[in-house]
Amino acid sequence: MTDLNQSITAFIGLGSNLASPAMQIKSAHEAIAALPSIRELAFSSLYHSAPMGPQDQPDYINAVMAIETALSPLALLNELQYIEQTHGRIRQGQRWGARTLDLDILIYGEQLIELPDLTIPHSGITERAFVLYPLFEIAPLLKIPGKGKLADLLTDCPLSGLKRLE
């Protein structure tokens, strides 16, 4: 069991647009929360958004989860990629293509990370309504490392059709 006494707060973005997206998000939420090295702090509402990139794909369902973990960023990434695989995610190299599940580490404490397989805060975080609005729902006072106050970032990020699901 990982020692959560030496833990860090991280935020994970969840997205899906294939194979019952809302169920994919709910199942992934349960899988992440069940990891022994993680304690769930908060989970946003589900949000409906148009796809980024190729428009010839179904719309997405997105959410954001706040966790406490003692896992390193790369160990957390490995756990999330395993959950993606168990949900039928196949990585084919197409950026922004349709997928059963996409799990991204958005923020990991105050850390700024630039590795070949991992960038934190997640690249593009400041332009993505489907990340910023659910993040604001669960952590309105959050400061995104190297980017600024979340509330300030929202003023420059239009909803772009994003809809909170009831």
102 tagged catalytic: yes
pLDDT of residue 96: 58
Contacts of 55 (CB under 8 A, 6+ apart): none
Catalytic, out of 3, 39, 56, 104: 104
Contact 106, 138 (CB under 8 A): no
Q: What is the mean pLDDT of residues 49-68?
A: 88
Of 36 and 99, the structure prediction assigns the larger pLDDT to 36
Range of the domain at 151: 4-164
- The domain that holds 135 is classified in CATH as 3.30.70.560
pLDDT of residue 48: 96
Q: What is the mean pLDDT of residues 93-108?
A: 78
Q: How many domains does the chain have?
A: 1
Q: Kindly compute the dihedral angle of the four CA atoms of residues 84, 44, 66, 59, in this order, to the nearest 10 degrees.
A: 30
pLDDT band for position 6 (cuts 50, 70, 90): confident
Q: Which DSSP string do the residues of 18-60 spell out, in sequence order?
A: SSSHHHHHHHHHHHHHH-TTEEEEEEPPPEEEPPSS-SSSPPE
CA distances from 50 to 17, 95, 113, 160, 162 (A): 10, 15, 28, 8, 7
Contact 79, 35 (CB under 8 A): yes
pLDDT of residue 90: 66
Catalytic, out of 39, 89, 152, 164: 89
Catalytic, out of 56, 59, 95, 102: 102
pLDDT band for position 3 (cuts 50, 70, 90): low
pLDDT band for position 97 (cuts 50, 70, 90): low
Of 46 and 86, the structure prediction assigns the larger pLDDT to 46
pLDDT of residue 138: 98
89 tagged catalytic: yes
pLDDT single digits (tens) 119-147: 999 888 999 999 999 999 999 999 999 99
Q: Is the pLDDT confidence value at 53 over 80?
A: no
pLDDT of residue 2: 47
